[in-house]
């Protein structure tokens, strides 16, 4: 799920200094609101590029 597994993996990668690229068509969640929140969070808090 975007807002659980992908989120925690992205935070770990960010903390290790990786530049994040999230392919929005490759992630999903059972919770549409959580999915959209996570995509915004990746970009705003982690500096990820959403592709």
What pTM was estimated for this model as a whole? 0.90
Q: What is the pLDDT of residue 48?
A: 98
Tokens 């690229």 correspond to 21
Residue 38 belongs to what domain range?
A: 2-50
Number of domains, the chain: 1
Question: pLDDT tens digits for 2-39?
Answer: 999 999 999 999 999 999 999 999 999 999 999 999 99
Which H or E element spans position 21?
Answer: strand 21-22
Alpha-carbon distances, residue 14 vs 6, 7, 11, 17, 33 (angstroms): 12, 10, 5, 5, 23
CB 29 within 8 Å of CB 7: no
Tokens 């990668």 correspond to 13
């Amino acid at each position: 799920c975007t807002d659980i597994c992908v989120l925690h993996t992205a935070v770990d990668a960010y903390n290790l200094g990786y530049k994040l690229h999230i392919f929005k068509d490759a992630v999903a969640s059972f919770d549409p609101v959580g999915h959209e929140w996570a995509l915004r969070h990746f970009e705003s808090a982690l500096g990820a590029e959403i592709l």
